[in-house]
């Protein structure tokens, strides 16, 4: 072997050793929590370029063989995401099977947000819009309470609480009533001393934003209620409405606006009285 070739081989080996030691030094920067002695740092920098070229040399070393240790490969990260999403996906599928769309929506939104790009997120994303619509319909339907009472005669009622004002102390109930001994009725039932309404007073309503003026009257028996005239027309219009707002005046609170979310009303559950 020629002397020149031997020198070249030794130089290449030295450069490889330099790169190896340089990579080891660069790893120091990847673990800032570890403590290093000045001797360790001087030992590592003995084989590197002068300080003026240090930044360039470090970048070259990272590009040349150190970068693979700074982050897991994309395939490994994707597999980890799929594995992490699996329990949530199983819960989501279980809730669907149990017909619990409101809870399934919450879990599904979490999957899409936390595990984008996974097969689980893709499965949920395709079904989520329809599921959200179903959950909203169920929420609105759950606002209504349908009752059958036989005390003092057979009675059917459909009741929804106001969304505004809210809270048990402030809410007002909108009640539909059919009783064998009384006329069909639609009325508001509040608190305290009830409503301020003289004779047949005006009640300004907004049906899905469209302003209408209805008539109302107070009961003769003194309950904190107010009947809405034209009950048949009200019940017929109710099936097509989503939100009804009513401007009323109460004795205790003064003027206020009541808001009822009525889009979940089911006419079939507000039963007709038997015919005699």
Q: Please write the tens of the pLDDT for every residue from 251-263.
A: 988 999 999 999 9
**Position 49 confidence tier, pLDDT thresholds 50, 70, 90:** very low
Given a cut of 50, whether residue 170 has pLDDT beyond it is yes
Please report the pLDDT score of residue 71 as a whole number: 58
Mean pLDDT computed over 63-84: 72
How is the chain split into domains, by residue range?
A: 3-69, 74-141, 144-269
What pairs with residue 164 in β-bridges?
259
Check pLDDT > 90 for residue 84. Answer: yes
State the pLDDT at residue 167: 84
Q: What is the pLDDT of residues 93-120, one digit of tens each?
A: 999 999 999 999 999 999 999 999 999 9
Q: How confident is the model at residue 55 (pLDDT cuts 50, 70, 90)?
A: very low
Question: Does residue 22 carry a pLDDT above 90?
Answer: no
Q: So what's the pLDDT on residue 139?
A: 95
pLDDT tens by residue, 121-141: 999 999 999 999 999 999 999
* pLDDT score at 72: 67
Confidence of residue 53 (pLDDT cuts 50, 70, 90): very low
Q: Which CATH class is domain 144-269?
A: mainly beta
Rounded CA separation 273/276 (Å): 9
Is pLDDT above 80 for 207?
yes
pLDDT at position 58: 45
pLDDT of residue 62: 44
Mean pLDDT of 208-220: 97
């Amino acid at each position: 072997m020629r002397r020149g070739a031997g020198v070249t081989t030794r130089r290449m080996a030295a450069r490889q050793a330099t790169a190896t030691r340089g990579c080891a030094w660069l790893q120091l920067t990847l673990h800032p929590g570890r403590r290093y002695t000045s001797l360790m740092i001087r030992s590592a920098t003995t084989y590197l370029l002068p300080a003026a070229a240090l930044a360039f040399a470090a970048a070259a070393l990272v590009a040349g063989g150190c970068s693979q240790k700074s982050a897991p490969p994309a395939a490994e990260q994707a597999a980890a995401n799929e594995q992490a999403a699996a329990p949530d996906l199983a819960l989501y599928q279980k809730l669907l099977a149990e017909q619990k769309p409101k809870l399934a929506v919450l879990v599904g939104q979490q999957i899409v947000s936390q595990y984008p790009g996974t097969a689980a997120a893709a499965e949920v994303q395709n079904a989520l819009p329809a599921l959200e619509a179903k959950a909203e319909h169920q929420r609105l339907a759950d606002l209504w309470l349908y009752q059958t009472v036989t005390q003092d005669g057979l009675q059917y009622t459909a009741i929804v609480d106001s969304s505004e004002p809210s809270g048990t102390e402030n809410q007002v109930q909108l009640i539909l009533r059919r009783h064998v001994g009384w006329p069909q009725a639609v009325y508001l039932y509040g608190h305290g001393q009830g409503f301020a309404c003289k004779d047949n007073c005006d009640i300004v309503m907004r049906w899905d934003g469209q302003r209408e003026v209805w008539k109302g009257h107070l009961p003769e028996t003194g309950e904190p209620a107010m009947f809405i005239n034209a009950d048949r027309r009200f019940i017929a219009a109710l099936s097509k409405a989503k939100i009804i707002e009513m401007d009323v005046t109460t004795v205790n609170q003064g003027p206020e606006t009541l808001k009822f979310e009525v889009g979940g009303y089911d006419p079939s559950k507000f039963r007709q009285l038997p015919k005699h």
